[in-house]
């Protein structure tokens, strides 16, 4: 069964039918989901979802564009709540120069702080990096973040950058973008990388695969991504599902759950 490693089911896009969708995931072949925090508020929502649904795990952290809200008290909150059993990662954290707010120095400061928190509490990281390839990589290398490991979510850079992360042992998150007609770069990355480091993700409600592009995404659309990977890698869809699901469990250290 499929493991969706990155979703935002607490998003208001699911306000009307959240329970209906989550409750029906298993019958659509979805075994587990990690809901990802992007602010303190959405991290709190993630804890609620984890409690309510046995197959939902959580990551807590503050997205680069929300780092203006961070202070010592909130870092303490993240630290305390990272001890909850089903919290499996710190994230999503990183750099986003596409929106470029708050300023880059603020983003870098809190990226570093959250990376160090992950080391302290011994959890992997979920990395968000947009239009910030060099700075993200430089910080991750300088901080030896490969030692705690994690996933580069919604990977959007060339395979030369992918190689750097793969060599450090990171997983790479692949989602609906792979099915877009103009997804040449990401197709090359999937072609190049070993299956053992690939995980499936939706980033729902965003980035729905081609047939639904521009509409609300959900874990139920992951078979479109599976199909694409199966064609690129020339292995069966069943193999793609089995390998990526095992990878997700290794990423989030769930093998003993």
Query: 159 in a domain, yes or no?
Result: yes
Query: 105 in a domain, yes or no?
Result: yes
Supply the pLDDT for residue 163.
98
Q: Check: CB of residue 179 under 8 Å from CB of residue 225.
A: yes
Query: 256 in a domain, yes or no?
Result: no
**pLDDT bracket for residue 256 (50, 70, 90):** low
Per-chain mean pLDDT for the chain: 97
Query: 195 in a domain, yes or no?
Result: yes
Supply the pLDDT for residue 239.
98
Query: 221 in a domain, yes or no?
Result: yes
Supply the pLDDT for residue 51.
97
39-86: pLDDT as tens digits? 999 999 999 999 999 999 999 999 999 999 999 999 999 999 999 999
The string of DSSP codes covering 51-117 is HH-TTEEEEE---GGGGGG--HHHHHHHHHHTTSTTEEEEEEEEEETTT--S-HHHHHHHHHHHHHH
Burial 33-69 (b: 16+ CB within 10 A, else e): bbbbbbbbebbebbbebbeebeebbbbbbbbbbbbee
Query: 257 in a domain, yes or no?
Result: no
Query: 236 in a domain, yes or no?
Result: yes
- Quote the number of domains for the chain: 1
| CATH code of the domain covering residue 193 | 3.20.20.140
Query: 49 in a domain, yes or no?
Result: yes
Supply the pLDDT for residue 255.
81
123-144: pLDDT as tens digits? 999 999 999 999 999 999 999 9
Half-sphere exposure of 91 toward its Cβ, with a 13 Å CA cutoff?
30
Supply the pLDDT for residue 100.
86
Range of the domain at 15: 2-251
Average pLDDT over residues 87-99: 97
Supply the pLDDT for residue 257.
52
């Amino acid at each position: 069964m499929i493991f969706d490693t990155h979703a935002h089911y607490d998003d208001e896009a699911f306000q009307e039918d959240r329970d209906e969708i989550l409750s029906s995931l298993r019958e659509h072949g979805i075994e587990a989901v990690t809901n990802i925090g992007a602010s303190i508020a959405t991290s709190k929502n993630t804890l609620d979802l984890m409690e309510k649904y046995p197959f939902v795990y959580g990551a807590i952290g503050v997205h680069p564009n929300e780092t203006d809200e961070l202070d010592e008290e909130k870092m303490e909150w993240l630290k305390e709540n990272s001890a909850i059993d089903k919290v499996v990662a710190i994230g999503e954290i990183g750099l986003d120069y596409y929106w470029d707010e708050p300023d880059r120095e603020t983003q870098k400061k809190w990226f570093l702080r959250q990376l160090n928190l992950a080391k302290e509490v011994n959890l992997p990281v979920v990395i968000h990096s947009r239009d910030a390839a060099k700075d993200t990589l430089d910080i991750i290398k300088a901080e030896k973040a490969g030692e705690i490991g994690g996933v580069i979510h919604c990977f959007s850079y060339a395979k030369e950058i992918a190689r750097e992360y793969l060599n450090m042992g990171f997983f790479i998150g692949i989602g609906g973008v792979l099915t877009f007609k103009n997804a040449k770069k990401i197709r090359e990355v999937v072609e190049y990388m070993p299956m053992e480091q690939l995980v499936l993700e939706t980033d729902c409600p965003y980035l729905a695969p081609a047939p639904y592009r521009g509409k609300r995404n959900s874990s139920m659309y992951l078979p479109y991504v599976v199909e694409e990977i199966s064609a690129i890698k020339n292995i069966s869809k069943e193999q793609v599902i089995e390998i990526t699901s095992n990878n997700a469990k290794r990423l989030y250290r769930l093998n003993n759950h």
